[in-house]
């Protein structure tokens, strides 16, 4: 899909059926690094089809095929790939330039680079200090096996270090400074490493991984709970909605399973079945007014849009990392929900949503800011408003390439 914009309508305002989601991008990208470091012992099943995962697959292949001379690895807009490759390339012999899109070169990487420099890596910035592109001379000589890293930064920095830790000659101990943000993503990383035979010791603020080899294993990738969140939004905003999402598990490793609890406050009931989940719109009401996204920041855009469309006045915490994602997601949300009268304001790290002036526009055009989650979070508004235009719709390919096809299957008309 290469249109500059699409128009969404949904005449029936009802959804019903089954949607088969792609594998989790978060699990897939971790599995790729684990596999790459396993010396052929780890296999992967149900790998994500998301662009980010495709880009990471290609980046790993390019790095492993590197011969003499400098190799340029361009991971485009894939933030997870940038963080994971920043660690992975230190373990390989070679001379690498790791770069990405213009926006990627504006996203900070300094905390992770500083950690690797402490360990013994040879990394330099090609342009602006603290940001990609990076020049990495691989096959580091390790002279330190303990590093301290702030807990309130992106969990991808921590996961990146943990994924490579067992391959270091002395292993690695991470000392987490302060409260850990997005803890479920760190837990996911450690669980997946354990599935591949890499053991860890996590006591208090310290995570230790000794040098060790992976064992024979197949990592099965669960469908993506982040992708599922958009179907929760559609059920919530429909006049009558029910949907089945096969493969999702009650004991998921993914932090975005938090959507189950959050969306019950917006009238969506979740039933865990033998082969997945069943979602149904209910008339249940809730007086909950504060939602914390510290451990599931990728759900924030979806929930803010739903709350605004349902004219709820609620508040949100845990949004600190949203400003350094694919775009400044706070500013993007403020701009776009403002187009139908909702207002999001900040007060000491608490964000208040005022939906008292929400109105129904004849049509609305949503800018996506090169951010896949902006497109997918706002598209369900077609179940509330008559016409919704989504600019740059191809951005969904980053994490959910089949998104528009799935919407059409559920009665959305796309022009």
Which residue numbers are catalytic? Answer: 298
> Which tokens is 63 given?
């790095």
54 alpha-carbon distance from chain centroid: 15
Tell me which DSSP letter residue 362 carries. Answer: S
316 alpha-carbon distance from chain centroid: 19
d(CA 206, CA 173): 7
- Computed on alpha carbons and rounded to an integer, the radius of gyration of the chain in Å comes to 21
Give me the residue label for tokens 């189950």: 260
The CB density around residue 98, as the number of other CB atoms within 10 Å, is 26
Q: What is the dihedral of CA 233, 237, 240, 241, to 10 degrees?
A: -10
Asked whether the CA dihedral 72, 77, 81, 87 is positive or negative, the reply is positive
3-state secondary structure at position 390: strand
Comparing CA positions, the residue from 313, 307, 305 lying closest to residue 329 is: 305
93 phi and psi angles, rounded to 5 deg = -75, 130
The CB density around residue 175, as the number of other CB atoms within 10 Å, is 14
Counting DSSP H helices and E strands in the chain, the numbers are: 12, 22
Comparing CA positions, the residue from 275, 267, 286 lying closest to residue 250 is: 275
Tell me which DSSP letter residue 281 carries. Answer: E
Q: Are 380 and 32 in contact (CB under 8 A)?
A: no
Cβ neighbours of residue 125 closer than 8 Å, sequence gap 6 or more: 113, 131, 133, 134, 135
């Amino acid at each position: 899909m290469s249109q500059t914009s699409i128009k969404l309508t949904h005449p029936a305002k009802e959804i019903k059926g089954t949607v088969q989601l792609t594998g989790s991008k978060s699990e897939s990208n971790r599995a790729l690094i684990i596999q790459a470091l396993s010396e052929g012992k780890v296999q992967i099943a149900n790998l994500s089809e998301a662009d980010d995962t495709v880009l990471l697959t290609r980046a790993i292949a390019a790095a492993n095929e590197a011969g003499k001379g400098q190799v340029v690895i361009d991971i485009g807009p894939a933030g997870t790939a940038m963080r994971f490759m920043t660690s992975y390339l230190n373990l390989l012999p070679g001379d690498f330039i790791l770069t990405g899109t213009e926006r990627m070169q504006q996203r900070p990487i300094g905390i992770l680079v500083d950690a690797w420099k402490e360990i013994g890596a040879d990394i330099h910035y090609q342009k602006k200090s603290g940001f990609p592109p990076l020049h990495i001379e691989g096959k580091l000589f390790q002279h330190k096996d303990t590093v301290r890293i702030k807990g309130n930064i992106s969990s991808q920095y921590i996961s990146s270090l943990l994924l490579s830790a067992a391959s270091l000659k002395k292993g690695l101990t991470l000392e987490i400074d302060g409260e850990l943000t997005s803890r479920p993503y760190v837990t996911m990383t450690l669980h997946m490493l354990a599935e591949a035979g890499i053991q860890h010791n996590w006591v208090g603020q310290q995570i230790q991984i000794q040098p060790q080899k992976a064992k024979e294993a197949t990592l099965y990738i669960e469908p993506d709970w982040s992708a599922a969140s958009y179907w929760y939004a559609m059920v919530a905003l429909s006049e009558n909605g029910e949907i089945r999402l096969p493969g999702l598990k009650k004991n998921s490793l993914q932090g975005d399973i938090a959507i189950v609890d959050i969306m019950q406050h917006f009238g969506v009931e979740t039933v865990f079945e033998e082969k997945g989940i069943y979602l149904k719109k209910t008339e249940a009401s809730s007086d909950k007014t504060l939602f914390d996204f510290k451990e599931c920041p990728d759900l924030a855009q979806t929930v803010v849009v739903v709350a605004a469309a349902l004219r709820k006045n609620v508040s949100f915490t845990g949004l600190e990392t949203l400003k350094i994602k694919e775009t400044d997601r706070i500013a993007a949300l403020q701009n776009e929900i403002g187009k139908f009268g909702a207002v999001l304001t900040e007060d000491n790290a608490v964000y208040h949503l005022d939906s008292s002036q929400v109105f129904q526009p004849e049509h609305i055009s949503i800018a996506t800011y090169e951010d896949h989650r902006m497109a997918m979070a706002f598209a369900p508004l077609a179940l509330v408003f008559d016409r919704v235009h989504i600019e740059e719709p191809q951005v969904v390919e980053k994490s959910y390439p089949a998104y528009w096809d799935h919407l059409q299957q559920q009665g959305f008309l796309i022009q």
